[in-house]
A = this chain, B = another copy of it.
Amino acid sequence: MSLKLLGHPLSICTRRVLLVLAEKNVKFEFQTIDFLRGEHKESSYLESHPFGVIPLLEDGSFKLYESRAVGEYLATKYRDDGPQLLPPTEDVEKCALFRQWASVEYSQFSPLAEQLLMQKMFNPMRGIPCDEPLALQIIKRLEEKLDVLDTILGQQPFMVGESFSLVDIFYMPMVDMLYQAGQRQLFEDRSNLKVWWGKVSTRASWKKISA
């Protein structure tokens, strides 16, 4: 077996890749990088991943980082295994819309979600209290984005359209972490987002990586 994922089972970005591997039912070796102990900043790891974050994929001698890029590589390489997570390459407009929705996750959702998790979860874990007025500002801005996503999910069942795709996977570990950080009402209060989360979080792949 030549496929090896270096990461941590609790990391949002690692879970994004684990979810793709579970959907595709691909065998791989997992090597834990203990980021809580700073193992991702040690020189042996930095040689392969100069930005010093997790995860990193090794496929034989080919190395790749950035979780969404790794997810897309695996979804492409194992296109014929398990569910189809990408649009057909020959359909230029479908590919463009896939790219648009992927970018919406990257630009409209994740930056605010990360800032909120910093205040509500990661800072408190490190003994830094949540800045409540700042958290409220972030929530207000995030709610505006989620209102739009809720409307879109009233028109299409999944983030890219009619079927589950890689872009749904891109959201899932971050949404789950927001639930864990006590922010479930962001999704439960929005009926279409709630239905979407109900659908994606009951998939076998999600149960497998959350076990």
Q: Does A95 contact B (CB under 8 A)?
A: yes
Q: Which residues of A (119-161) have their CB < 8 Å from a CB of B?
A: 145, 148, 151-152
A86-124 interface (Cβ within 8 A of B) = 89, 92-93, 95-97, 99-100, 102-104, 106-108, 111
B-facing mask of A64-85, CB < 8 A → 1, else 0? 1110111011001100000000
Say whether B69 contacts A99, CB under 8 Å: yes
For the complex, is A182 an interface residue (Cβ under 8 Å from B)?
no
> Is A179's beta carbon under 8 Å from chain B?
no
A51 within 8 A of B: yes
Find the B residue at minimum CB distance from A107: B66
- Let me know if A198 is at the binding interface, CB within 8 A: no
Does B69 lie within 8 Å of A100, measured CB to CB? yes
Contact partners of A92 in chain B: CB under 8 A = 73, 76-77
Provided the pairs A66-B104, A93-B62 are in contact, do residues A73 and B50 lie with their beta carbons within 8 angstroms?
Answer: no
| A99 and B66 in contact, given A77-B92, A92-B73 (Cβ under 8 angstroms) | yes
Bound complex: CA of A110 vs CA of B145, how far in Å? 19
| With A50-B148, A50-B152, A92-B76: A68-B99 Cβ-Cβ less than 8 Å | yes
Shortest CB-to-CB span from A86 to chain B, Å, is 11
B residues less than 8 Å from A95 (CB atoms): 73, 76
Give, as a whole number of angstroms, the nearest-CB distance from A152 to chain B.
7
Complex Cα gap A99–B97 (Å): 16
The 4 closest A-B pairs by CB, nearest first: A66-B103, A69-B99, A73-B96, A69-B100
Q: Chain B residues with Cβ under 8 A from A102's Cβ? A: 69
| Distance of A76 Cα from B102 Cα, bound (Å) | 17
Whole-angstrom CA separation of A64 from B66 in the bound complex: 25
